[in-house]
Amino acid sequence: HLSKRLAKAAAYVPQGARLADIGSDHAYLPANLAINHIIDYGVAGEVVKGPYENAVHEIQREHLEGKIFPRFADGLKAIEDDDQIDTITICGMGGTLIRNILEKDKSKLQNHPLLILQPNVGSNVLRQWLQANHYQITHEDILEEDDHIYEIIVAKYANQPMQLSSEDLFFGPILRKHQNNAFLKKWEKEIEKNEKAIHQMQKATNPPTQRLAQLKTENELIRGVLA
């Protein structure tokens, strides 16, 4: 049984995919997909010993040895040529960390796998990377679970780079066109947070004018995008 967040990400994995789940921890995502016969080959990559052992145990517990292979490795180094990976999931990390993992071992992306990414924060950094690396965003989701708001970005390689505006990068090209409750909540919270910061700064003897202007501009931008 997957969390709502992981279930959403899992739903984008194509039938028959050869999946690498990077930063897999318990390997819940690839294990669930194997149990449900969506995949019959997966790699669960982990760079930290404890989470790696969690993956090993879960795979044994579900009798998935021979289908899901745990690998103790940094980022995309978990992927080997023979795996013929065509889909990569990276979930539950900050956008910058996900970006760094993708950027660090680009040779592992030679076959242009489908990318299913679930950044907890900083999704704009990720969209920028996708744009610069000829990945086209095909789906986006935003959802709330246990008082957290999560985003999911699905991207596939394309010959033409995307043309994303700064609003697209910041809010998501698809998310901002179909604003659901989680989207509204996230950005209303952001406005509130900025308002509080502005209020605090204005009380200072020497208000940081540049930062104040930046926050005000950001709030105008957000208000402009919210339907």
What does the radius of gyration of the chain's CA atoms come to, in whole angstroms?
19
Q: Which helix (H) or strand (E) holds 88?
A: strand 87-93
> Residue 211 CB, nearest distance to ligand SAM (Å)?
30
- The two structure tokens encoding residue 173: 């090209």
75 binding ligand SAM? (CB under 6 A): yes
Torsion of CA 217, 182, 25, 153, to 10 degrees: -70
- In this complex, which beta carbon is closest to ligand SAM, that of residue 115 or of residue 169? 115
- In this complex, which beta carbon is closest to ligand SAM, that of residue 97 or of residue 169? 97
> Residue 161 CB, nearest distance to ligand SAM (Å)?
26
Residue with tokens 């698809």: 174
Instruction: Give the torsion sign (CA, 208, 213, 219, 225).
Output: negative
**Under a CB-based contact definition with an 8 Å cutoff, are residues 192 and 226 in contact?**
no
> Residue 25 CB, nearest distance to ligand SAM (Å)?
4
Site for ligand SAM in 13-72 (CB under 6 A): 22-25, 45-48, 51
Applying CB under 6 A, which part among 85-93, 131-139, 145-153, 158-166 lies near ligand SAM? 85-93
> Residue 53 CB, nearest distance to ligand SAM (Å)?
11
Integer Cα distance of 32 and 124 in angstroms: 29
> Residue 147 CB, nearest distance to ligand SAM (Å)?
16
Site residues, ligand SAM (CB under 6 A)? 6, 22-25, 45-48, 51, 74-75, 91-93, 101
